[in-house]
Amino acid sequence: MDAYYLEATPKTPKLDFNPDAETFLISGRSIPENSIEFYKPLLDWLDKYVQNPLESTIFEIKLEYFNTSSSKCLVEIFRKLEKIKEQGKSITIDWYYEEEDEDMEESGEDFKQIIKVPFKMVEIK
């Protein structure tokens, strides 16, 4: 399976999903004009990955900011990751946020409440 990689732009995050690596990454800002269109190729890629995941996957979210439509796409991504856990594989979501960024911390806490995957809050000092 090929890796899925997109470099960050001022409006879209870096997406680094390499099936040979244990860690997947979304980082930067997520305010695309059309979030559904932007994230659809990644969601399709994840559908394939979920069919044959690694024994252990770490999913790192290092967003500076995201809009409401991106939030909905993140939930869709997290729902796909739940399927990995259902297969008995190890999956962890690490949510990074700046020490002073209460909005990002609160968003992570909100996701943590609704996602059935181990969700770790990581404060960046």
Residues constituting the chain: 125
Give which of 43, 44, 78 is closest to 61, Cα–Cα: 78
How confident is residue 120, by pLDDT bands cut at 50, 70 and 90? very high
What share of the chain has pLDDT > 90, as a percent?
Answer: 95
**Has residue 17 got a pLDDT over 90?**
yes
Residue 125 — very low, low, confident or very high, per pLDDT cuts 50/70/90? confident
Burial class, 103, CB count within 10 angstroms (exposed 0-12 / middle 13-18 / buried 19+): exposed
| Angle at alpha carbon of residue 13, lines to 96 and 83, rounded to 5° | 70
Angle at 109 between CA 11 and CA 124, to 5 degrees: 65
Q: What single-letter amino acid sits at 113? A: Q
